[in-house]
Amino acid sequence: HQSTLRPNHEVSPVTTKPVPELSLSSLIDMGFTDTQAEQIFESVSSVRGGSAAKHILSTLTVLFVLGLNPSSVQKLLEKCPELYTVKEAQLQQRISNLRKLGLVEGSLQRMVAHYPKILTVPVKTVKNVVTFLKERCLFTSQQASDILRDSPAVVLENLDQLEYKFQYVYFRMGVKQTEMVKFRLFRFPLDEVRCRHIFLERRGFYQTPDKKGQTTIVNPKLDSILNTDLDTFLTHVAQATAEEYDVFQKLLAREWKEEELQQGKIEAD
Amino acid sequence: EKWAATHAKHPPTRLALHHFDATYSVQLGKLWPSVRVAMLSERKYGALLNNFCHDAVLVDLQAKGCRDFITNREEDGQCVFPVFTVNHYLSCHPNIKCLVFPRGDVTRFKPARPDAYGLLSYYLMDAASVLPCLALDVQEGHNVLDLCAAPGGKTLSLLQSQTISKWFLCVNDTSVSRTMRLRKVLHSYVPKQFLTDEKLRITSFDVQVLVDVPCTTDRHSLMEDDNNIFNKIRVGERRRLPQLQLELLLAGIEAACPGGEILYSTCTLSQNQNQGVVEQAICLARENHGIQLEAVSLRPLTQMFRNTFHFAPDLHLGEMVIPHLAANFGPIYMCKLKRLT
Ligand SMILES: C[S@@+](CC[C@H](N)C(=O)[O-])C[C@H]1O[C@@H](n2cnc3c(N)ncnc32)[C@H](O)[C@@H]1O
């Protein structure tokens, strides 16, 4: 099946045995520059077990067929050498799964170039995360695919952690799914989100909405909490000094550590 | 669900926060957010060194990075007050040492350990609580009345000056359980020979009076639901606080003789419990008792210690240490009055 996507004959004649030799010249023939070819050649040889050499040509072909140019292919392989060892069929499945999940052409290529690791993740894992986002966090399919596109690293996050992050932002900060997607919540580490939020809360600038969704002050938008550099966040949102935030981070880290210890004690009892 | 479940309906700490938001945002204006986050985060302590203890812990503590904020104060060159005023304050308390970790440092002190005689090496307290004791300005031959003494942090600070053999200290508190704590504190820090009736007793001609009144203890009220004065069942008690504070201050004023000085202090930011009470006391003392009082400036003191504490700017009466994350001491309000007649 899927024979159309196999390495094409001019580039590397496909015979099942013996494994085709990977040579510098074959790489150059594929469109890599001398330097790129050398770099690829070197990194393939450094991957242990010899399986890399076996899959390299098919991997390259799949990436070309996806529409990536030699230069971005070389860069993403450098970022993620694990790709050398992934079987062709698996790559195909993973890519078509991403298409099925709603990643359109263009986005798909950008995502792979930016986060090649996505192709090392089993289809099942990706599906689980998407199902989780839809069923446990009530994101729509479109939102789930937007999350995948903007923050592909979610696929490797622990689902408990992910749930905690969602619940924190949903219940404690009172932020709805639309905004979480729009402002790319899942790109940010939970601790950073929590730290900025609690800082604002203790300064009196953030309130958890009540049951009717109301607050007595206007909360700052998620955007201005997440997508601002520290200086802007401090001067415009928190109206605080860097010294204050610095001490606050230290104190909060200690509070969390002690809460965890406390939690551990309660669970052990 | 996970988050909703953890919210009790109206815990006293929450009520306290609402109350403070309403009053202090007006009173402190732009400073309030910084004070608020500081009070809701871990406070800082000072270690009051116990001069009666035989273990030399000063060097150890200094090696850990602490410094005695009383001797390491603002350079005299930067001080706008004449050196003699500065020396005057400190000459009275040559031995009070209170160690703190530097600004921004959040290291904690270990609990103090007893020496061979069972006396503890230091007492952990809000470093700003030492200020009222310094401000009290006790000198040789003075009698001191500590009107609300328990659990005894300030009593202990006063005892450290070791002019103790030359003045009398009288401590007082209405709460039986807190007086027991005071006794325990004194016995853990002070050798028996200094705790005789001759040194510590009630006298009727006190010169210096410390009136460290019960108040809304803002920090405690924000952080602990237990024994919280914002608990709904204690509304009456809370409302009556300014009246009680006024009565205590007036009692202190009456106990001082003409020429004597009274130091009023609280650990709240509340104007009603601070300046409000002092103003009324000055007024009532004149009207009902014919006593003339004069407020004594504590500006030299705040100048000396402005590198350790944040002081509220421009109070028209008294001085106040306000909490700040980098120097998370206070709140402590203090106001000094001199009895003219
Ligand atoms: C702020 S605390 C004093 C803290 C103490 N000065 C220290 O530094 O450790 C106030 C004290 O006033 C006491 N108190 C309350 N009503 C009083 C009264 N009518 N007369 C004397 N003391 C009273 C309380 O029991 C409480 O111990």
Residue A184 tokens, joined: 């790319």
Chain B CA closest to residue A164? B2
Using pLDDT thresholds of 50, 70 and 90, give the confidence band for residue A15: very low
Using pLDDT thresholds of 50, 70 and 90, give the confidence band for residue B8: low
- Indicate if the pLDDT at residue A33 is higher than 50: yes
Reading phi first (left if > 0) and then psi (alpha if -120 to 50, else beta), residue B175 is in beta
3-state secondary structure A94-137: HHHHHHHCCCCCCHHHHHHHHCHHHHHCCHHHHHHHHHHHHHCC
Taking the C-alpha atoms of B9, B14, B16 and B17 in order, what is their torsion angle to the nearest 10 degrees?
-150
Which of ligand 1's atoms lies nearest the C-alpha of B267? 1
Selection from B160, B182, B161, B186 nearest residue B173 by Cα? B182
Contacts of B326 in chain A (CB under 8 A): 243-244, 247
Spatial neighbors of A158 by CB under 8 A, at least 6 apart, are none
**β partners of residue B98:** B48
Chain B CA closest to residue A172? B3
Contact B136, B76 (CB under 8 A): no
pLDDT of residue B100: 98
Of all residues in chain A, what percent carry a pLDDT higher than 70? 90
Taking the C-alpha atoms of B64, B68, B74 and B76 in order, what is their torsion angle to the nearest 10 degrees?
-120
Selection from B109, B112, B108, B135 nearest residue B122 by Cα? B112
Q: Which amino acid is at B44?
A: K
Q: Model-level pTM greater than 0.90?
A: no
CA distance B41 to chain A (A): 7
For A:194-213, CB contacts with B below 8 A are 199, 202-205, 208
DSSP B262: E
CA distance B136 to chain A (A): 32
Best mutation site among B96, B173, B215, B227 for ligand 1 pocket (most ligand atoms within 8 Å of CB): B173
Which of ligand 1's atoms lies nearest the C-alpha of B175? 25
Query: Hey, are the CB atoms on B325 and A168 less than 8 Å from each other?
Result: no
Cβ neighbour number for residue B194 with a 10 Å cutoff:
17
Residue A206 has φ and ψ, to the nearest 5°, of -145, 135
pLDDT tens digits, residue range B258-305?
A: 999 999 999 999 999 999 999 999 999 999 999 999 999 999 999 999
pLDDT of residue B163: 60
Residue B212 has φ and ψ, to the nearest 5°, of -100, 85
Distances, alpha carbon A9 to alpha carbons A28, A38, A217, B67, B236, in Å: 16, 23, 67, 78, 91
Tell me how far the alpha carbon of residue B192 lies from the centroid of ligand 1, in angstroms. 24
Reading phi first (left if > 0) and then psi (alpha if -120 to 50, else beta), residue B309 is in beta
- To the query of whether residue B257 is one of the catalytic residues in this protein, the response is no
- Indicate if the pLDDT at residue B1 is higher than 70: no
Residue by residue, DSSP assigns B6-51 as: G--SS-HHHHHHHHHHHHHHHHHGGGHHHHHHHHTS----EEEE-T
Residue by residue, DSSP assigns A41-65 as: HHHHHHSTTSHHHHHHHHHHHHHHH
Which of ligand 1's atoms lies nearest the C-alpha of B147? 21
For B:8-37, CB contacts with A below 8 A are 21, 25, 32-34, 36-37
Edge to edge, the sheet with strand B46-49 lists: B67-68, B98-100, B46-49, B122-125
Contact A133, A175 (CB under 8 A): no
Tell me how far the alpha carbon of residue B132 lies from the centroid of ligand 1, in angstroms. 15
Between B268 and B174, whose confidence is greater?
B268
Q: Please tell me the distance from the alpha carbon of residue B197 to that of residue B63, in angstroms, as a whole number.
A: 39
Interface check for B106 against chain A (CB to CB < 8 A): the answer is: yes
Across chain A, mean pLDDT equals 89
Pocket of ligand 1 (CB under 6 A): B 129, 148-154, 172-175, 178, 212-214, 248
Query: Hey, are the CB atoms on B326 and A247 less than 8 Å from each other?
Result: yes
Query: Hey, are the CB atoms on A171 and B3 less than 8 Å from each other?
Result: yes
Query: Hey, are the CB atoms on B3 and A254 less than 8 Å from each other?
Result: no
Selection from B293, B238, B225, B221 nearest residue B264 by Cα? B293
Question: Which is it for strands B143-146 and B168-171: parallel, antiparallel or unpaired?
Answer: parallel
CA distance B325 to chain A (A): 6
Q: Is the ipTM of this complex over 0.85?
A: yes
Selection from B272, B201, B253 nearest residue B264 by Cα? B253
Q: Please tell me the distance from the alpha carbon of residue B117 to that of residue B135, in angstroms, as a whole number.
A: 32
- Indicate if the pLDDT at residue A16 is higher than 50: no
- Closest protein CA for atom 1 of ligand 1: B214
Q: Which residue of A171, A203, A246 is in closest CB contact with B4?
A: A171
Contacts of A208 in chain B (CB under 8 A): 3
Interface check for A256 against chain B (CB to CB < 8 A): the answer is: no
Query: Hey, are the CB atoms on A244 and B324 less than 8 Å from each other?
Result: yes
Spatial neighbors of A131 by CB under 8 A, at least 6 apart, are none
pLDDT tens digits, residue range B93-129?
A: 568 999 999 999 999 999 999 999 999 999 999 999 9
Spatial neighbors of A236 by CB under 8 A, at least 6 apart, are A224, A228
**β partners of residue B338:** B261, B294
Tell me how far the alpha carbon of residue B148 lies from the centroid of ligand 1, in angstroms. 4
Cβ neighbour number for residue A39 with a 10 Å cutoff:
17
pLDDT tens digits, residue range A94-140?
A: 999 999 999 999 999 999 999 999 999 999 999 999 999 999 999 99
Residue A175 has φ and ψ, to the nearest 5°, of -100, 135
Interface check for B41 against chain A (CB to CB < 8 A): the answer is: yes
CA distance B73 to chain A (A): 21
For A:152-191, CB contacts with B below 8 A are 167-168, 171-172
| Dihedral angle sign, alpha carbons of residues B262, B268, B271, B277 | negative
Residue B162 tokens, joined: 């070791």
Rounded-to-5 percentages of helix, strand, coil across chain A = 70, 0, 30
Q: Please tell me the distance from the alpha carbon of residue B135 to that of residue B145, in angstroms, as a whole number.
A: 14
- Closest protein CA for atom 2 of ligand 1: B214
Q: Which residue of A199, A243, A246 is in closest CB contact with B37?
A: A199
Q: Please tell me the distance from the alpha carbon of residue B121 to that of residue B52, in angstroms, as a whole number.
A: 8
pLDDT tens digits, residue range A156-211?
A: 999 999 999 999 999 999 999 999 999 999 999 999 999 999 999 999 999 999 99
Q: What is the mean pLDDT of residues B77-94?
A: 49
Selection from B299, B297, B316 nearest residue B80 by Cα? B299
Contact B321, B128 (CB under 8 A): yes
Q: Please tell me the distance from the alpha carbon of residue B318 to that of residue B172, in angstroms, as a whole number.
A: 24
Helix or strand holding residue B333 (H, E): strand B332-339
Of all residues in chain B, what percent carry a pLDDT higher than 70? 87
**β partners of residue B296:** B336
Q: What is the mean pLDDT of residues B179-188?
A: 87
Query: Which of A162, A244, A259 to substitute to test the interface with B, most B CBs within 10 Å?
Result: A244
Question: Which is it for strands B67-68 and B98-100: parallel, antiparallel or unpaired?
Answer: antiparallel
**Between A and B, how many CB-CB pairs are < 8 A?**
54
Residue by residue, DSSP assigns A76-89 as: HHHH-GGGGGS-HH
Cβ neighbour number for residue B251 with a 10 Å cutoff:
15
